[in-house]
Amino acid sequence: MKKGTILFSLVLLLTGIMSCNAQQQDETKNPYYKPTDNSKIALSDAQWKKVLAPKVYNIMREKGTEAPNTGPYVHNPKKGIYYCAACGHLLFSSETKFDSGTGWPSFYQPFNDASVAQAKDNSYGMERDEVVCARCGGHLGHVFDDGPAPTHLRYCMNGYALHFEEKK
């Protein structure tokens, strides 16, 4: 491997680690991040902007996305639970996570029926099903019908819209 390639890989790895740490630090300062609270939450964009990291805010409130293979959790092999990065709502279990080869964390089903909601997304000249947090309405990603059995669904999520807690 060339020195330039190794250096570039190290920079990408360190950037990802620092981004994950920054995301977790911002979540601890977020008074709306409550994994045990299932009540709906409606905040203004200004309120969200104060407590979410810029990348998380862009994805969850402005419906942005991260480039493939750049967000956290796409290759996370650990067992545990994925929560909404904005409000802490229970979203997915690692038991339903699979490698879709798309560059984003993918799951074949939400944790339960109250975890996520869906809305039509006709942006970019496509018709897709947007997936949002059922508690705060934050944009998580999209769901497609090309996933594995038993559901044949692929919940393609933005890693920065998720917070992972490893099973102990």
Shortest CA distance to 155 belongs to which of 142, 165, 164? 142
Torsion of CA 80, 97, 71, 66, to 10 degrees: -140
Q: Are 153 and 145 in contact (CB under 8 A)?
A: yes
**What is the widest separation between alpha-carbon atoms in the chain?**
53
- Choosing from 84, 133, 136, 156, which is the catalytic residue? 156
Does 136 participate in catalysis according to the annotation?
no
Could you give the CA distance from residue 93 to residue 161 in angstroms, rounded to a whole number? 15
Question: Which tokens belong to 70?
Answer: 């750049």
Active site residues: 156
